[in-house]
Amino acid sequence: MAKGMRVKLNYEIGRDPDTGVEVTRLTPPEVTCHRNYFYQKCFFNDGSHLLFAGAFDGHWNYYLAGSAERRSRTADRGAQAITPLADFSPRTIAPSYYVKNDRTLLEVSLETRAEREVYRVPDDWVGYGTWVANSDCTSLVGIEIGETRLDTAERLANFPRLLP
* Average predicted confidence (pLDDT) for the chain: 74
Residue 42 and residue 154: Cα distance in Å, rounded?
Answer: 41
CATH architecture of 6-162: 7 Propeller (2.130)
Query: Cβ atoms within 10 A of the Cβ of 2, count?
Result: 10
Position 129 scores a pLDDT of: 60
pLDDT in tens, 76-107: 555 554 555 544 445 455 677 777 777 788 88
Q: Is the pLDDT of residue 62 over 90?
A: no
Tally of CA atoms within 13 A in the half-sphere of 49 that contains its CB: 20
pLDDT tens, position by position, 21-58: 998 887 888 888 776 665 566 777 677 777 777 888 87
